[in-house]
Amino acid sequence: MPTRRSADSTDGEKLFETAVEQFDAAAELIGLPDNIRQILRSPKNEIIVNFPVELDDGELRVFRGYRVQHSDILGPYKGGLRFSPHVELDEVKALAMWMTWKTSLSNVPFGGAKGGIAFNPRNHSIGEIERIVRRFTHALGSNIGPEHDIPAPDIGSNAQAMVWMMDTYLNSGGNGDRQNTRRVVTGKTIETGGSVGRDKATGQGAAFVLAHHLEQVNRDPRGTTVAIQGFGNVGEHCARAMTHMGIRLTHVADHTGAITNDNGFDPEALWRHTSEAGGVGGYEYAEAIDVEEFFQAEVDILVPAAIENQITAARAPKIKASVVVEGANGPTSVEGEQILIDRGVEILPDVLANAGGVIVSYFEWLQNKMSARWQLNQVDDELRRYLWEAADGIEEEKKRLACTRREAAYAVALNRIGTVFEQRGIWP
């Protein structure tokens, strides 16, 4: 039964309700047995830690962190860690559930998890952020581990944060096998055991998924236009990869504003601006526009690569793009998606479009395990292969079940999980 939301539910509650609604619809479509539905509707573990950190001025503040482990039926829990003042338990539960579908769809041997610390890194010094990350890692203790639960960067966190986590875990005793402990996190810097191509993997992956789709519908990417919301890790690398395909980047938006330039932006120059200014707002080679104008832009492709719930029932009717590539997690509401589908807009869903990050995280984890180093072309080629295989599986299922692309993606993911549950049985 789909859950019903009350008028005063929080954004996190709504997000979790959306995640459960999407799951229920797909479970119904493939006839997933009821006992497996019951198991997958709730996360296995919900961990909340409160921990004190001394700030630069000597004041002591207690921070709250979360780690939700949704399912480990296919392998160790895997998922990002978000630093944002808006982080709350239900939001993390939704994101953890989506990770389970994503890892299954991508056919990497991981389960699904997500975590977060409720704070705004923009309001803290590097020293304070380091202490917050280290105390959080210490508080999690053995709830994470290289064969148990492997965090990675997400909104607000980055490679440096992962290195602090790894170092803290290692120095707290790790799992006793110090050299093998590096893979307790992925998305690290190259020097500390990260993989080449991991920083750009999610954005690059979204571009690979788009290229595959355009090829299938016989559409040349060259000369098409794109609007990207978010110019962080995903948005920036998506911009680079898509402009490399010959697509003109005419609109960009982030938390500091929305900008446009008909001639197209150079992602490298825009990145230099955002690194100094903290966002795209105020970029001199652009015209500033309103965020609603951004969503109504006359473009062929729209990439929401920032936060959840951006393509809503109010915005969806006005979107001009014919393809939406979901770089962010959960950027389209259930109602917004239905409107886009009715209008014939193709949606490349988040579980596929942003799976590049977790796929290359798997490559990083493998390289650490084997003490190996892959070349960039090997990482990119393998990433493309994994994503295109997943995309082909979705298209087949979409035809067979006559359903939406998101439902088809869930069907592929749930079938794989359902089979493993059936074969393993439910113990005792």
The residues carrying an active-site annotation are: 114
User: Contact between 115 and ligand NAD (CB under 6 A)?
Assistant: no
User: Helices (DSSP H) in 217-355: which residue ranges?
Assistant: 233-244, 267-277, 291-295, 334-342, 350-353
* Interface residue with ligand NAD, options 235, 267, 336, 393 (CB under 6 A): 235
* Interface residue with ligand NAD, options 145, 156, 193, 418 (CB under 6 A): 156
CB-based burial of residue 266 (10 Å sphere; 0-12 exposed, 13-18 middle, 19+ buried)?
Answer: middle
Nearest to 407 by CA among 304, 338, 311, 331: 338
Least gap, CB of 299 to ligand NAD (angstroms): 17
* Interface residue with ligand NAD, options 15, 241, 259, 305 (CB under 6 A): 305
The set of residues, in sequence order, having a beta carbon less than 8 Å from that of 416 and lying 6+ positions away, is 74, 104, 105, 107
Question: How many Å separate Cα 38 from the centre of its chain?
Answer: 25
Nearer residue to ligand NAD within complex by CB, 79 or 418 = 79
CB-based burial of residue 2 (10 Å sphere; 0-12 exposed, 13-18 middle, 19+ buried)?
Answer: middle
Query: For helices 376-401 and 405-424, what crossing angle results, to 10°?
Result: 100
Q: Which x/- pattern, by CB under 6 A, does the window 332-351 give for ligand NAD?
A: --------------------
User: Contact between 2 and ligand NAD (CB under 6 A)?
Assistant: no
SS3 62: strand
Q: What are phi and psi of 388, to 5 degrees?
A: -70, -35
CA distance 413 to 107: 8
Nearest to 350 by CA among 321, 369, 324, 323: 324
Nearer residue to ligand NAD within complex by CB, 184 or 306 = 306
User: Contact between 154 and ligand NAD (CB under 6 A)?
Assistant: yes
Least gap, CB of 58 to ligand NAD (angstroms): 29
Least gap, CB of 166 to ligand NAD (angstroms): 17
CB-based burial of residue 98 (10 Å sphere; 0-12 exposed, 13-18 middle, 19+ buried)?
Answer: buried
* Interface residue with ligand NAD, options 202, 225, 260, 368 (CB under 6 A): 202
Least gap, CB of 329 to ligand NAD (angstroms): 4
Least gap, CB of 63 to ligand NAD (angstroms): 18
**Binding residues for ligand NAD restricted to 348-387, rule: CB under 6 A:** 354, 357
User: Contact between 155 and ligand NAD (CB under 6 A)?
Assistant: yes
CA distance 112 to 249: 33
User: Contact between 49 and ligand NAD (CB under 6 A)?
Assistant: no
User: Contact between 18 and ligand NAD (CB under 6 A)?
Assistant: no
Q: Which x/- pattern, by CB under 6 A, does the window 63-102 give for ligand NAD?
A: -----------------x----------------------
User: Contact between 231 and ligand NAD (CB under 6 A)?
Assistant: yes
CB-based burial of residue 159 (10 Å sphere; 0-12 exposed, 13-18 middle, 19+ buried)?
Answer: buried
Least gap, CB of 220 to ligand NAD (angstroms): 27
Nearer residue to ligand NAD within complex by CB, 236 or 407 = 236
Sheet of strand 112-117: strand arrangement:
45-54, 60-71, 112-117, 77-83, 149-153
Nearer residue to ligand NAD within complex by CB, 156 or 174 = 156
- Integer-rounded Cα Rg, in Å, for the chain is 21
Stretch of 122-130, 226-234, 334-342, 363-371 contacting ligand NAD, by CB under 6 A: 226-234
Least gap, CB of 238 to ligand NAD (angstroms): 9
CA distance 428 to 294: 54
Least gap, CB of 236 to ligand NAD (angstroms): 8
Question: What sign results for the dihedral spanned by CA atoms 369, 370, 375, 379?
Answer: negative
User: Contact between 249 and ligand NAD (CB under 6 A)?
Assistant: no
User: Contact between 13 and ligand NAD (CB under 6 A)?
Assistant: no
User: Contact between 233 and ligand NAD (CB under 6 A)?
Assistant: yes
CA distance 116 to 52: 16
Interface with ligand NAD (CB under 6 A) = 80, 153-156, 202, 229-235, 253-255, 279, 305-307, 327-329, 354, 357
